[in-house]
Structure 1
């Protein structure tokens, strides 16, 4: 089965780009364990392949060009001409995986075939009903024909006109198709988790009719209406309709037939079934964080959810806007901070991250311009602040980009970094005292690092126990002020000291080695951070899982020593591996016979050979570099260990927030408050609770959008960007017209080696079970939570990264070829593509496309 064209529902999360709005939503429902009929999604890549193979793209665009939204005759003419284009045969490379997926449902299995567009229900727009659906399809050829007709319906007169009216770019639209086993339907209908007429959130409204739901959706029948109280899920109002017709399956698909006279005026669902539906609707609303419009069916006493989408017409609290890019023309990057916080942040996490940054980065604000920002809930670094500081002290633009690229990744060609309007002497007067204080603070803290490392784990564990034992809001507040807050500040200051103690030696060594040795030898010489008895903290999770798999430690020991590290380790609303046994089980099952020690020994051998070559060619300089590198290695290990202990504190901060939610009766809604608001709540001030609905709406809305570009210049609108079919995931520049990304995939050489293998494109660490041994891992960005995947990967390719990023460091340690900071890897590469990765040159070449 072609993994690029076919996605099995229930196998993992799907993006709108892959599966369209309906497909992505059904995958989300499946992941939550909700009753969704089994099936699969024919992905948007299959539509694009059909268009490309049949050479009809230009004809489609010609048909819709210059068609006005209100010109019905022109719209209908465009629909007819485009519909004819989709009568061409289905290419074998697409048909075969579709039919294989269909066969897995059983011979002649009756299925529903529904369109799923990439422009479905974005923002305040609703595209519901604009594309075709076909029911009770039971033959292979009929299935292929239904899929082609779904694709053609992307270009119906109604859809073309609606998109034109709302200025939706039609140049690169795609359509997925959902294929599901037909749900048995004695009755079916629609459930609204808020009253769509009054807007009342304390009641749910159910429309129900006999047979398939299409009679109701198409307006052929007036349904029964039941209003259900949210408080106890009892029916408070019931209006029965005379339901004279219903839609039922037959050999040709479906047909309309008369409802038996004794059933026409009777209730199509019972009060008990209404309560079941209401409870299910409440679950789905909680999953999405917004009132929902849910299509359902009941057959044989079993409920099936056919579709769920937000109610776009309902008035409610306006979501907060989290977007610092609107306040200033600046260049923003998440090339480094995105590793630490790859997710949309809850307000609680963002407030704690700001404290952490103020403690670890002495210059976190320059004349009111903040070094960090929140753009659509995601963590970005303000590169304009850094560029302005560099310019003040004599560093040119090219030198700044070269230096910052080692940590934050490359700034794409043509993108400029605005310098902030601050006078040079104003900056000097402001910064010099801060820099002097920072140097003194680092000097005082550095000798304290060994003692801190020795006691921090036990101190954190004691704090977590004290938090769990707190019996009142006042007692918990005292723990914060007297113990947790001081420890949080101390851990952050220790990381500041560890991060600045090497004086940039590692960057200097990399630059010097680049003059004397090949890129491959440079990468080999920079590995060895885990050599000997020293364990690099970035590899700790992998090391701990290995020990657990071999029986060297038990689960409790794993949780204490390594359980704080994971893919979402600074987001305090996310569970840690140490509190999630299912996560640990999954990692152990996927590890197989991974031998971490052998990987490290092999890389030590490569390093020794590289040292021998360097010493022979440059004996004097090699000795000096070895001394400096030893110094840098020690400092780097110290920095990584300090970072690990800060992450451990964030576990205690998560415990604190959860306990506050329990003691104050707000549960996990506590994460929608800032830390200052949580402390006020513990003191009895409940004013901030009114802000929770708007913040929950903002968080869930931003989280539903694709991950934003790594580099952003100027004002950025996440919704407009997400709705743009031609958007780029590597860069957004509000000051110039977007250009097409390069067809080549190039990046920083992360670790040496040449590998040929099949790509596996993953978007989040939770998809790691899909990675097969020997495949090439292609993803946006990695962090410690991705480390257990690395030994299975033949090579690693990332969109975001730099020579000192997580992916590059871990790949070097394990001797895995890597190319990082490509910018466009996940745009240009697809699962199943045959790739050649050259880690020394930083190149990724496509030998053969998947399905070719």
Structure 2
């Protein structure tokens, strides 16, 4: 019995119960007042409805459980297969999908599933065959009808692999003897060389050759075809695409004949294609849309039609949209669909290619209560070729309805985090119906808002106790001697600490500063506004991101011990978002080398900060005298922005400290598993599986391949800040004309931002006020920082807290990546160093020795002379 029938039965019996209670109350209550009688009889009816509804649901569930307890010898009808039981994986991809769809009320031709336990070698057990014959009798209902016999392997029709055509299928058979022979044919096909070759290519294991078999009623359709809920070639989510033929669709699926094509726009359902199937399109679109939502990923759907009726024959994930290569251990989420991705700001914490261990944490977080926003199972967090990206399409799709569907208007509200984008660059949206947005997206936004509010209330306690908690947990991990004990620590303490720390980071995020700047510009010149926002740490307290630089001077002045410095900042650095990256606190020589470099180029940071305070005081005096009515509210907002910035930086520092716990966990797991720091070439799921005792030699054998792949990705330059559509890092990297600003797959070109290459001016975001002329020093990585001389203009891809000690030496700072809230902009403003961030291609157009003029207030860099 499927869910629709259960709901119909429940509604009927609930209605009868309501009527019976209401009539009984009227008959026996003795109440004379009509008004009271009406109100109370309605209440009685409601009580009857609730009681009979609960009773019916209870009895139907008990009936279903009773049916499931009957020994079926491994043979189950679609309608009675226990979806939530331990048997579910044994049904295989196709069998489980058909059972789910049938029980959910979709028009699936009825059938049954034969689990692996029904077989002995390549034939049915005798008792299982008898159970199959009972199912055939039920399906025939006294008529002679055709059947289809298909395989259903454990990973067949899964997100990993489709196995389309790899196993045998036998169609249009009728007699019992033919059916038994067909079952044997399907079973034997699992031994074929093509199945083994396909499995090896997909990185699958031999124990996954075990298959179930599906027996299903065949229909004789007018038309049959395939519908993809997302374009499998381009990843376009806004259009379903399909093809069909007259009669049976088997030759179409196998590629033996050509077909007619059609498409359906999403979400409205507009049809483009031949008129002969137009009558079925409305239902086909409705079924496909619902099946995709229920499955949680784009679907490849086989269908057939008779008259105006549509039957769904099969539904499976579209494997060409697979984002993970299990052999090389690489994610490329740009393959999941057509989206706009941004690396701005994100690469501050992870400027290098992520190891498989660290990259896998993002998807693990999504599945275990992490803070990421998602729309229709598409996450804001993404990985492209080992680098962290944000799915802007997800964020804009969630908020576009607040702006009448205007994607660029919605983006402008969040541009403080991600920076500006070209007006002509498309922001692909995830197609959402009004009900999907109101029933799924909006409640999700409200839940997140409540969660973040709750975490903000716990922020003070988190900041006060996190350092001690991390220290205690690191010691626990190091003293754990068993895999089981380490696994328990992960589940009970390590992962909750890591997850909560990231939720704290998102909860503390604030773009108050960007909105404040936007409003201030309505009343004052950019120079005044920049000065008003360049002393936030002076108003709220020293930002954590400035600590590593200020602390070095304090040590040399005897105001801070080396031990205190390492306790405060030993967990911070240039690649602090990567678990495999050794922390400064692990290197006993690290601090001495930093102090040595500082002594070579001493800078009085107190003087720089005092200069910023003086500039702020002067700017505030000017602003308040020119805008007396606005002075009080803006003064309050400036202090609020300062406090928010201080809190954001403090929370981020403590969340980064939690990464040391994650690193300690990984290294301990590597020790217990006998692979040391090669543990970072496994995913977190693989590590947890190995700790649970399920040894997987195949995964261990993949480590050399993953190490080689990791090095190949590391050899590529940083990818474009903005990526729209599918992106192949190696194809892009081999293009001599590549740019690092925007890659637009749809137009097969790299888009340009700002002025073309022949211009002598680069444009970005105003990072920090000031105009400086000087000589460029381009650093491709922090490892080259010893080349940097005091008074040079620092040009690099991006900066983070690990670069902070270089800032006081710089005459100005210019970066490819960045936005108004990026690290370079924040620290440069507080130290009064002119900066232009988010120039997109500064490192490609500027070379060491070039002379430039940096205008931090206007956000531009003028090339004066090129080095000969």
Tell me the TM-score normalised to structure 2 length: 0.59
- Deviations along 1:207-235, whole A, 9 cap, x unmatched? xxxxxxxxxxxxxxxxxxxxxxxxxxxxx
| Counterpart for residue 214 of structure 1 | none
- Deviations along 1:150-186, whole A, 9 cap, x unmatched? xxxxxxxxxxxxxxxxxxxxxxxxxxxxxxxxxxxxx
| Counterpart for residue 662 of structure 1 | 671
Q: Using a 3 Å threshold, how does the CA distance of structure 1 residues 611 and 354 change in structure 2: closer, same or farther?
A: farther
Alpha-carbon distance, 1:428 to partner: 2.5
Q: Distance in 2 between matches of 1:683 and 1:414?
A: 51
* 1:524-543 paired onto structure 2 within 5 Å: 524-531=531-538, 534-543=541-550
Residue of 790, 810, 817 corresponding to 1:800 = 817
Q: Distance in 1 between matches of 2:539 and 2:852?
A: 34
Q: Using a 3 Å threshold, how does the CA distance of structure 1 residues 470 and 543 change in structure 2: closer, same or farther?
A: farther
What SS is found at the alignment partner of 2:702? helix
| Counterpart for residue 329 of structure 1 | 338
Q: Using a 3 Å threshold, how does the CA distance of structure 1 residues 412 and 532 change in structure 2: closer, same or farther?
A: closer
Q: Using a 3 Å threshold, how does the CA distance of structure 1 residues 764 and 581 change in structure 2: closer, same or farther?
A: farther
Work out whether 1:761 is the aligned partner of 2:778.
Answer: yes
Residue of 647, 652, 665 corresponding to 1:643 = 652
Alpha-carbon distance, 1:505 to partner: 3.0
Q: Using a 3 Å threshold, how does the CA distance of structure 1 residues 443 and 832 change in structure 2: closer, same or farther?
A: same
* 1:136-175 paired onto structure 2 within 5 Å: none
Judge which range, 817-826 or 734-743, deviates more: 734-743
Residue of 555, 560, 563 corresponding to 2:570 = 563
Aligned 8 A contact 2:536 2:830 in 1: yes
| Counterpart for residue 31 of structure 2 | none
Aligned 8 A contact 1:711 1:732 in 2: yes
Judge which range, 719-728 or 362-371, deviates more: 362-371
Aligned 8 A contact 1:660 1:682 in 2: yes
Alpha-carbon distance, 1:435 to partner: 2.3
Residue of 784, 788, 792 corresponding to 2:801 = 784
- Deviations along 1:357-411, whole A, 9 cap, x unmatched? 7789755221022212211111111111122223222262342343333211221
Aligned 8 A contact 2:535 2:613 in 1: yes
Q: Using a 3 Å threshold, how does the CA distance of structure 1 residues 360 and 811 change in structure 2: closer, same or farther?
A: farther
Q: Using a 3 Å threshold, how does the CA distance of structure 1 residues 549 and 410 change in structure 2: closer, same or farther?
A: same
Residue of 369, 375, 383 corresponding to 2:378 = 369
| Counterpart for residue 790 of structure 2 | 773
Residue of 731, 745, 759 corresponding to 1:734 = 745
Alpha-carbon distance, 1:739 to partner: 5.6
Alpha-carbon distance, 1:532 to partner: 5.8
- Deviations along 1:14-39, whole A, 9 cap, x unmatched? xxxxxxxxxxxxxxxxxxxxxxxxxx
Work out whether 1:423 is the aligned partner of 2:433.
Answer: yes
What SS is found at the alignment partner of 1:698? helix
Q: Using a 3 Å threshold, how does the CA distance of structure 1 residues 549 and 791 change in structure 2: closer, same or farther?
A: same
Q: Distance in 1 between matches of 2:450 and 2:503?
A: 12
Work out whether 1:748 is the aligned partner of 2:755.
Answer: no
Q: Distance in 1 between matches of 2:454 and 2:751?
A: 50
Aligned 8 A contact 1:359 1:493 in 2: no
Alpha-carbon distance, 1:682 to partner: 1.9
| Counterpart for residue 589 of structure 1 | 596
Q: Distance in 1 between matches of 2:435 and 2:778?
A: 49
Aligned 8 A contact 1:359 1:492 in 2: no
* 1:390-405 paired onto structure 2 within 5 Å: 390-394=399-403, 396-405=406-415
Q: Distance in 2 between matches of 1:614 and 1:575?
A: 47
Alignment gaps of 5+ in structure 1? 1-316
Alpha-carbon distance, 1:762 to partner: 0.9
Judge which range, 631-640 or 376-385, deviates more: 631-640
Q: Distance in 2 between matches of 1:671 and 1:319?
A: 13
| Counterpart for residue 191 of structure 2 | none
Q: Using a 3 Å threshold, how does the CA distance of structure 1 residues 752 and 364 change in structure 2: closer, same or farther?
A: same
| Counterpart for residue 610 of structure 2 | 601
Residue of 668, 684, 689 corresponding to 2:700 = 689
Q: Using a 3 Å threshold, how does the CA distance of structure 1 residues 436 and 413 change in structure 2: closer, same or farther?
A: closer
- Deviations along 1:591-648, whole A, 9 cap, x unmatched? 2312222211111111111111100110121210110221222122112111111100
- Deviations along 1:71-123, whole A, 9 cap, x unmatched? xxxxxxxxxxxxxxxxxxxxxxxxxxxxxxxxxxxxxxxxxxxxxxxxxxxxx
Q: Distance in 1 between matches of 2:781 and 2:419?
A: 20
| Counterpart for residue 620 of structure 2 | 611
Residue of 518, 531, 547 corresponding to 2:554 = 547
| Counterpart for residue 642 of structure 2 | 633
Q: Distance in 2 between matches of 1:622 and 1:361?
A: 41
What SS is found at the alignment partner of 1:707? coil
Q: Distance in 2 between matches of 1:431 and 1:336?
A: 25
Pick 1 or 2: higher relative contact order, CA cutoff 8 A, min separation 6: 1
| Counterpart for residue 844 of structure 2 | 827
Tell me the TM-score normalised to structure 1 length: 0.60
What SS is found at the alignment partner of 2:638? helix
- Deviations along 1:728-770, whole A, 9 cap, x unmatched? 1112111223466533311111111000110011121221111
Q: Distance in 1 between matches of 2:556 and 2:339?
A: 48
Residue of 722, 726, 732 corresponding to 1:721 = 732
Q: Distance in 2 between matches of 1:393 and 1:358?
A: 28
Aligned 8 A contact 2:770 2:834 in 1: yes
More helix by share: 2
Aligned 8 A contact 1:519 1:749 in 2: no
Higher gyration radius (CA): 2
Q: Using a 3 Å threshold, how does the CA distance of structure 1 residues 615 and 551 change in structure 2: closer, same or farther?
A: same
Q: Using a 3 Å threshold, how does the CA distance of structure 1 residues 420 and 490 change in structure 2: closer, same or farther?
A: closer
Residue of 829, 832, 856 corresponding to 1:839 = 856
Q: Distance in 2 between matches of 1:550 and 1:482?
A: 44
* 1:223-238 paired onto structure 2 within 5 Å: none
How many equivalent pairs are there? Answer: 532
- Deviations along 1:556-585, whole A, 9 cap, x unmatched? 322211111101001011111111244433
What SS is found at the alignment partner of 1:531? helix
What SS is found at the alignment partner of 1:393? helix
| Counterpart for residue 381 of structure 1 | 390
| Counterpart for residue 75 of structure 1 | none
* 1:80-91 paired onto structure 2 within 5 Å: none
What SS is found at the alignment partner of 2:425? coil
| Counterpart for residue 497 of structure 1 | 507
What SS is found at the alignment partner of 2:861? strand
Alpha-carbon distance, 1:541 to partner: 1.8
The runs of 4+ residues in structure 1 deviating greater than 6 Å are 357-361
Aligned 8 A contact 1:753 1:839 in 2: yes
What SS is found at the alignment partner of 2:521? helix
Aligned 8 A contact 1:409 1:800 in 2: no
| Counterpart for residue 30 of structure 1 | none
Alpha-carbon distance, 1:413 to partner: 5.1
Work out whether 1:351 is the aligned partner of 2:360.
Answer: yes
Judge which range, 750-759 or 356-365, deviates more: 356-365
